[in-house]
Chains A and B, each alone.
Chain A
Amino acid sequence: MGFFTSSIGRKIVMSLTGLFLITFLIVHLGVNLLTLVSAELFNEASHFMATNPLIQAMQYVLALGFVLHISQGIILQIRNKQARPQNYAMNKPATNSSWSSRSMILTGLLILLFLILHLKDYFWVMKFGEMPAGQTDYDLVTGLFQNKLYTLIYVASFILLGFHLDHGFQSAFQSAGVNHRKYTPMIRKIGRVYSLLMALGFSLIALYFSFAN
Chain B
Amino acid sequence: MKLTLKIWRQAGPGKAGKMETYPIDGISPDMSFLEMLDVLNNKLVTEGQEPVAFDHDCREGICGACSLYINGEAHGPDRGVTTCQLHMRKFKDGDTIYIEPWRAKAFPVIKDLVVDRGAFDRIMAAGGFVSVNTSGNTLDANSIPIPKDDADKAFDAATCIGCGACVASCKNSSAMLFVSAKVSQLALLPQGRVEAQRRVLNMVEQMDKEGFGNCTNTGACEVECPKGISLENIARMNREYIKAGLLSES
Contacts and interface: CB of A to CB of B under 8 A. Distances in A.
Contact of A11 (B214, B232, B246): B214
B103 interface: yes
A96 B215 CA distance: 15
A80 B174 CA distance: 8
A148 to B, nearest CB: 36
Given A177-B242, A179-B232, A90 B103 contact: no
B105 A89 contact: no
Interface stretch (A40-48, A58-66, A168-176): A168-176
A134 interface: no
A143 interface: no
Q: Give the 5 A-B residue pairs with the shortest CB-CB distance, closest first.
A: A179-B235, A92-B72, A83-B213, A177-B239, A80-B172
Contact of A96 (B169, B204, B208, B238): B169
Interface of B: 6, 8, 19, 69, 71-73, 77, 98, 100, 103-106, 169, 171-174, 176, 204-205, 207-208, 211-220, 223-224, 231-232, 234-239, 241-242, 245-246
Nearest to A181: B232
B211 A176 contact: no
A79 interface: yes
Given A90-B98, A179-B236, 19 more contacts: A3-B246, A7-B208, A7-B214, A8-B241, A8-B242, A12-B238, A80-B171, A80-B173, A83-B213, A84-B171, A84-B173, A85-B105, A88-B100, A89-B98, A92-B71, A93-B72, A95-B77, A102-B218, A179-B235
Interface residues of chain B: helix, strand, loop or mixed (majority): mixed
Nearest to A168: B217
B216 A177 contact: no
Nearest to A3: B245
Give the interface centre of A1, A83, A178 by most chain B CB atoms within 10 Å: A83
Interface string A72-108: 0000100110111111111111011110011010000
A13 to B, nearest CB: 11
A11 B219 CA distance: 15
